[in-house]
Homo-oligomer: A and B are copies of this chain.
Amino acid sequence: MVSPPAARWLRWPGAVAEARLAYGADYNPEQWPVEVWAEDVQAMQAAGVNIVSLGIFSWARIQPTPDAYDFSWLDDVMDLLHAGGIAVDLATATASPPPWLTARHPEILPVDRNGATVWPGSRQHWRPTSPVFREHALRLVRAMAERYATHPALAAWHVSNELGCHNAYDYSDDAARAFRTWLRARYSTLDRLNAAWGTAFWSQHYSDWEQILPPRLTAAQPNPTQQLDFKRFSSNALKDYLRAERDTLREITPDVPVTTNFMVMHGIKAMDYADWAGEVDFVSNDHYVHPGPQALDELSFSANLTGNLAPGPWFLMEHSTSAVNWQPVNVAKRPGELARDSLTHVAHGADAVCFFQWRQSVAGAEKYHSAMLPHAGRDSEVFRSVAELGRTLRELGPVAGTVRHAARAAIVFDWSSWWASEQDSHPTSRLDYRQEALDWYSAFLDLGVRVDVVPVNTPLDGYDVVVAPVLHLVPAALSERLTAYVAGGGHLVATYFSGIVDENDHIWPGGHPGALRDLTGIRIEEFGPLLDDQRVELDNGTTGTMWTDRIDITADGVEVLAWYKSGDHEGRPAITRRVTTTGSATYVSTRLGPVGLLPVLTEVLDAAAVRSELPAGIRGRVELAVRADRDTAFWFLINRTDEPVEVSEVTGDVIVGPADGRQLVLPPRAVAVLRRHAG
């Protein structure tokens, strides 16, 4: 029923007998005088910290000049931490090249789309494809690995940092060369590339590989397949770099697991983490909350997806105790949110809860980013909450090693469709792929029904319901998989702008939704995107925005779940469902938003006999997430509201929650965890 644990997890120092969750932060001792270090370890112990990530931005300190290494200070820190019982997730320290390197080799600096050089003075000012950068970085990785291979504090390797956060798209000549190499591997011949890119359009036929460029500044719209392939290439170039560091590490320390921190979160789009997940020994993630009505849902969505990128538990490498520093307005977390946010990640499979960063900086670009030990010091609400969370996580030790308990429903997430559906020159520039997926997720939460957010290549057979929001890019094989899924009794839901193009971003001809036309039994001649001030009414009482389709029903067995009551398609179907012997294929042709999706989602869940596991009284107000192993299930009950919620009719041992066992009342924004027998 549950997935097997990950093949590799932290190599805890010494013999740690009990199951434990990791707890800690990025630790940047180089920002502080030596005398603070001991104080840090003491405070870490007080907070329950048992792991830190070290050395992430230490390149300039470790290698102060091209020909010299200075490990002494790092040796001291490693020893000090180990003596304090704190394990180390040791960075390869390559995230930010030191000034001497860029001064000597300005050819490693990225170039933006307009041809402007990206200068040092911040971080990640390196071309992912630069051979010069790679040579210097791997030399450092090797030195780090050799130095600390046998250090008892070493629990894992942390490759670089947030790969691609700022340098995912580089338009330099290095990038051009690497892009051509990648294209040669993908297409073998120029004829195939010309066909895939549709270069017959606008006289773009390439007669030599050397003519091909990244999609730099152009006079009008660049070739869409060139753009899509450049996105694929760019994600792959960073993955390739990750592999290079990893291989160096494995060569020297084959027994130490290697990870890197992904950024599965709002606003990060350039890296296809489903494609990357197999390259690391365990998945790590960074997540930061964006304010807004769906902030918590987005956190849960991201954690859920992260937990489904690879089998086994994952590592929450960074999140924040309170405000960040890089949003237009950086709001502080309210009471309870620090713990709730952390535990929501645990609920979705995280076995490690770490923050950026341990001690809040007094200088540098992130000095206003909150930390475990804030500017205010140990005598502060933040530090007290941090220590309280440390105790909670210790109580949750038994959860360690269990994994997300699969739901009966899934939302399919696909980077290729994300990239392709939001390109320019489309029916509308307002389409937001991730928001549509999140809206469906919120609707599931509102109904109290658990759902897995899974990469598109995940086997779907086990799911009774599969929602595919804006599954825009559907190669033939995926179309066949979905058809087989419905034929096998599955209930599929697709939305507007799904099934439109193949892997080369070529239209499936004959009427939309091309690749899903037979499956859904409908045909769309024309899209009907809406202007910003337009909305359409449906006869189920909901309202559509942004998009409509002009639907014709072309097959038997297609029923209309909702009709357009206004707009250009008044009287035409808005939501259809093709029912097969055992399965169904539902199509939603407009943007309904989280609340507007409830009627259609309810119908689909009813048809699939998927029901909420929560008592009726708390559905919507409480998120349920379940982790389990063979014998035991852990129910995480997360109060989504700012009011107390009384939980009744849920049985189990309360291992986190109100002390008074008689009645479980979740305070605002609080989380309870119950131990139950696995179903």
Contacts and interface: CB of A to CB of B under 8 A. Distances in A.
Interface of A: 28, 30-31, 57-61, 64-65, 93, 95-100, 102-103, 110, 112, 114-125, 165-167, 197-208, 210-213, 215-226, 291, 322-323, 325-326, 328-332, 334, 360-368, 370, 374-377, 380-382, 424-430, 504-507, 509-512, 523-532, 550, 568
A222 B31 contact: no
Q: Among the interface residues A31, A110, A525, which one has the most CB atoms of the partner chain B within 10 A?
A: A525
B329 A429 contact: yes
B204 A99 contact: yes
24 contacts: A61-B200, A98-B205, A100-B207, A103-B208, A103-B211, A117-B217, A120-B204, A125-B218, A166-B219, A198-B363, A220-B365, A221-B326, A225-B363, A325-B425, A325-B426, A329-B429, A331-B529, A332-B568, A362-B509, A370-B526, A375-B511, A376-B511, A376-B524, A377-B510
Contacts of A212: 99
Contacts of A330: 426-428, 529
B59 A203 contact: yes
B429 A328 contact: yes
Given A96-B204, A200-B28, A365-B224, A217 B119 contact: yes
Given A202-B96, A203-B96, A529-B329, A377 B219 contact: no
Contacts of A525: 374-376, 380-382
Contacts of A221: 122, 326, 365-366
State the number of copies, please. Answer: 3
Given A202-B365, A430-B328, A507 B375 contact: yes
B361 A201 contact: yes
B201 A375 contact: no
Nearest to A166: B219
Contacts of A430: 328-329
A219 B428 contact: no
Given A120-B218, A166-B219, A375-B510, A99 B206 contact: yes
Given A375-B509, A428-B330, A429-B329, A202 B363 contact: no
A472 to B, nearest CB: 12
B201 A363 contact: yes
Contact of A326 (B58, B199, B326, B425): B425
